[in-house]
Amino acid sequence: MIQRVAILLLFALGGTVPGFAQGDVPVQRIDSLVSAYHDARLFNGAVLVGTGDSVAYATAVGDANMEWDVPNTTSTRFHIGSVTKQFTAAFILTLVAEDTVALDSTIATYLPEYPGPGADRITIHHLLTHRSGIPSFTAFEDYESRTMRLEWEPDSLVTTFAKRGLQFEPGSQWSYSNSGYFLLGVIAQEVTGQHYAAALREKVLAPLGLDGPIGYAFSEDIIEREADGYTQTVWGYQRAEPIEASVPFSAGMLYATPTGLHRWTRALHTGQVLPDSLYEAMTTPHSENGYGYGLVMQSDTIGGTPVSIMGHGGGINGFTTSLNYTTPGDYTVLALDNTTSGSTSRLTEGIRQVLHGGTPPSPQPSVARALWPVVQKQTVADATARYRTLKQERPNAYVYDPTELVRLGDALREKERPARAIGIYEFALSMDSTLADAYAGLGLAERALGNDAAAESHLQMALDRNPALEQAQRALREMGVEEGTSTVTLSPELLERYTGVYAAQQRPSFTLTITREGKQLYGQATGQARYRLYPSSETRFFLKVVDAQVEFTVKEEGVPQLTLYQRGQEILFTRTEESPE
């Protein structure tokens, strides 16, 4: 499935490609980091580091096809998911440069029969910046079970999300929407009279000599040196669920080679793709989270040096990508993975640290992998004892978050061992009672054992902690139970009391900025996107994009503190500014 911005993956064994210019790039340190991610089973794909037009480092690790032990190479073609969006954005801006499309024109200008609301208010600019209000079809409840498996005509898929209405007034908020970028592809087809893939090739890729290294991954095509996609599980890899190419479309269905993406990045950022004014529009943040047109602009400080990053992540069935352009240094850093382990972004961040003289953290595999053979062959008690021993004797060897235990419980359910799964979920909850996913897992395991009363209770407890948890909602609907949890409505005056900039007590440089728009509250952590906070009480809020909660400490003189509950941690923040600009 298409995933959100900035999604991650894993690597495997390989070596650097000979003959590339290395200059001052610390290739040995980078190579050691890639090898460490591979050894931890946290990456399986290709990595490239470019300095200007030169490739300073490139390697490929693991298998493109695991069944036949066909290795990945630096010429392997990987699906790049939402990295496609920067190509779609550049394509639309190319049409703007030709006066074929205007940024301030509305959907109705190009699609007069658009079946949803807002066609006369939603502009091309809104679609490019995720500020249209159109809900993302990849978040719909039937996306994985139905939508992604079927071949769609563009008009039919447009109707499925258009009829859902708007999440907010166009331009008033930001919400990542694959629907918006799908619509951009439909509009491009309408004005060019060609399929998106053909028009993109003609107007963007071919003029740069990139027709071949980058292209559209049609389902029926045999694509030379194309990698197969895999999903990482607690017990190993398995083939990813298939996805029909007409579904991701202009939001996420391109493939690319590592060198192709490097050449594209150089062309885009050196004036070979767009006029200066349109490049500036593409790379200007149009929301507080740094999103421009198909790119996210961020900043960091490494070793005292300010660093600017422009890039995007991509995730689609069996593949994950991280592509960034960084200054100073004129670096292109990319990682392409044909598994779904969730570490490509961490890897490229680590490489960026190395390039600027910093020290990246060591990769840590999930403790669930170490516990899997124990819980399979022995007992739950043996597995929990092993967890405690590992955490005490090797505290830095694994990720020990209780959410990793939830993964272990989910794996046991998938292998039809619900009784053991219950023991693991209960162990996770003994360390963090706020884990909505653990309660949902408990409910599903109890249901598998025929204990409907216990199942209902645990599923309702999951919704108490995260009312947006879809798997709990779906299970209760299937059981014929009315959901008992919903968000509450709070006054703007109360929400305003919570606004401000909060600094983590253990790490003051890490802040959480709370803002209000009307009757809605938003939170944005340092270097991350802004997300809406949904109230479950007057003082407690939850996020829909991740399993996390925020609780404010209310005192007569104001709201000086909040606590973030996420991944088994409780992080206390103190407010340092009352009214963020």
Count Cβ atoms below 10 Å from residue 493 Cβ, excluding itself. Answer: 7
Q: How far apart are CA 483 and CA 224, in angstroms?
A: 50
Note if the bond before 170 is cis, omega within 30 degrees: no
The pLDDT value recorded for residue 10 is: 24
The secondary structure of 244-260 as a DSSP string is -TTTTGGGT-EEE-HHH
Looking at residue 21, its pLDDT comes to 39
CA distances from 276 to 84, 208, 288, 561 (A): 21, 17, 23, 45
Q: Which helix (H) or strand (E) holds 239?
A: strand 237-239
What is the Cα–Cα distance from 122 to 114, expressed in whole angstroms? 11
Contact yes or no for 365/40 (Cβ under 8 A): yes
> What integer pLDDT is reported at residue 5 of this predicted model?
27
Three-state DSSP class for 15? coil
Burial degree of 581 (CB within 10 A; 0-12, 13-18, 19+) = exposed
Domain 367-478: CATH superfamily is Tetratricopeptide repeat domain (1.25.40.10)
At the fourth CATH level, which superfamily is domain 81-225+238-296? DD-peptidase/beta-lactamase superfamily (3.40.710.10)
Q: Residue 328 has which token pair?
A: 């100073």
**What local confidence, expressed as pLDDT, does residue 265 receive?**
98
pTM beyond 0.75, yes or no: yes
Residues in the chain: 581
What confidence score (pLDDT) does residue 545 get?
64
Phi-psi region of 69 (alpha: psi -120 to 50; beta: other; left: phi over 0): left
Is-contact 244 150, C-beta < 8 A? yes
Segment (H or E) for 448: helix 436-448
Spatial distance between the Cα atoms of 460 and 438, rounded to a whole number of angstroms:
12
Which residues does residue 43 pair with via DSSP β-bridges, in sequence order? 11
> Which positions ≥6 away from 508 have C-beta within 8 Å?
none
Largest CA distance in the chain: 68
> What CATH superfamily classification does 492-577 receive?
Pab87 octamerisation domain (2.40.128.210)
* Local mean pLDDT, 10-residue blocks, the chain (581 residues): 28 32 79 96 97 97 98 98 98 98 98 96 98 93 91 96 93 94 98 98 98 96 96 93 97 98 98 98 94 96 93 97 96 97 92 95 94 95 97 95 95 95 96 92 96 91 84 90 65 88 83 85 77 83 78 71 80 78 49
Per-domain boundaries in the chain? 81-225+238-296, 367-478, 492-577
Residue 377 half-sphere exposure toward CB, CA atoms < 13 A: 6
Asked whether 101 and 124 are in contact (CB, 8 A), the reply is: yes
* CB distance 476 to 483 below 8 Å: yes
The predicted structure's pLDDT at residue 42: 95
